[in-house]
């Protein structure tokens, strides 16, 4: 069931990327405040860190997130 959901949602995302979706091109309609998203993500990063250490923070700055996840699991 999850495979069907994943394949279906992937196909829908590809469909949206290939075809033009006109309402997203009008800047007057786009009223999403990115500041709220950035503030919330910064707050969650402070509340739920992996470790409060200088080395952990510097690793997060230096590496991309995929590399950090790979290093933690392998």
pLDDT digits (tens, 9 = 90+) for 40-63: 877 777 677 677 776 665 555 555
Whole-model pTM over 0.85: no
Which letter does DSSP use for residue 68 in this model? H
Q: Bigger pLDDT: 20 or 69?
A: 20
Surface-to-core class of residue 68, CB atoms within 10 Å of its CB (0-12 exposed, 13-18 middle, 19+ buried): middle
Q: Bigger pLDDT: 35 or 25?
A: 35
The answer to whether residue 19 scores a pLDDT higher than 90 is no
Work out the pLDDT band at 39, boundaries 50, 70, 90: confident
Structure tokens at 57: 């923070």
């Amino acid at each position: 069931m999850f495979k069907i959901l994943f394949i279906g949602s992937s196909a829908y995302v590809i469909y949206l990327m290939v075809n033009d979706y006109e309402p997203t091109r009008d800047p007057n309609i786009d009223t999403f405040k990115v500041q709220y998203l950035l503030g919330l993500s910064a707050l969650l990063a402070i509340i739920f860190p992996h470790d409060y250490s200088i080395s952990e923070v510097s690793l997060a700055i230096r590496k991309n997130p995929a590399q950090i996840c790979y290093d933690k699991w392998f």
